[in-house]
Amino acid sequence: MGCFASVTLLSASDLGSDYRANCGDFVRTYRRRGYGFWSWKPYIIHRHLASLQAGDVVLYLDAGYSLNPEWLSRFKGYFDSTISHPSGWFAFESGHLVGPYTKRSLLLAHDADDESTRALPMLMAGCQFILARPDNVELARKWHEAMQVRDQIDDSPAPNELEGFVAHRHDQCVFSILGHRRGVAHSPDETNWSPNWSAHQAYPLHARRWKHRFDWPTAWMRLPWLGSMLRRL
């Protein structure tokens, strides 16, 4: 798209020995649940942020996102919003509230078991714009540290769960609690338009969850008739 200084693709083999030492048993036990309930996500975000020069902006995306270069101006607007916001951090909302999708033991551990926190929008962890600076590196570190407390992250039931609890969202729960407390910028989701992707080409980030492994340019893959087929490959 002509606006990245570098692009880094990561896999399980890129997780360091320090991650394996702290979270290896979690991964082995819950390999099929986000490779350890997505505990790797704040680890790699923290590690990458800490390696950047102050003032750089990192865009973290889960695997399977599609980028639409036709609407580069809107895309650059996300970067501008990140840089201009006091927090230097921008994320989208998931469309859910924190309360129904965060188990009570995690809320209690973070002194967040109150109605005002429960009513906050859940923040997505799979698409984030982050300005490299010390306080954001520290936020990512706290996020990673909190993801190592097993009984607060896994799917085990929390005692005295409140009525209305639906399911735990693991990494998103921790990020939402810490992110709101920090005051990160957020807006309603502009990445998930399933199944009407072709009607929303004006949005530069599509969370299509591609599962293909073709090492080719992918603009042609946004054709509507290919979408459902490729998501099954």
Flag whether 220 is in a domain: yes
Question: Letter for the amino acid at 227?
Answer: G
pLDDT at 38: 86
Flag whether 119 is in a domain: yes
Flag whether 145 is in a domain: yes
Flag whether 168 is in a domain: yes
61-92 pLDDT tens trace: 998 888 888 778 889 999 999 999 999 999 99
Inform me whether the pLDDT recorded for 210 exceeds 70.
no
pLDDT at 57: 96
Flag whether 1 is in a domain: no
Number of domains in the chain: 1
Q: What is the dihedral angle through the alpha carbons of 160, 162, 166, 168, rounded to the nearest 10 degrees?
A: -50
Flag whether 165 is in a domain: yes
Q: What angle do CA 154, 158, 159 make, to 5 degrees?
A: 160
> Taking the CA of residue 68 as centre, how many other CA atoms within 13 Å lie in the half-sphere pointing to its CB?
21
Domain extent, residue 24, equals 16-230
33-44 pLDDT tens trace: 778 788 899 999
Which one is predicted more confidently, 19 or 215?
19
Inform me whether the pLDDT recorded for 230 exceeds 70.
no
Q: Read off the pTM.
A: 0.85
Flag whether 6 is in a domain: no
Give the mean pLDDT of the chain. 87
154-164 pLDDT tens trace: 888 888 898 99
Flag whether 7 is in a domain: no
CATH number at residue 104: 3.90.550
Inform me whether the pLDDT recorded for 216 exceeds 60.
no
Nearest Cα to 144, choosing from 168, 170, 109? 170
Q: What percent of the chain stands above pLDDT 70?
A: 88
Q: What angle do CA 144, 17, 52 make, to 5 degrees?
A: 55
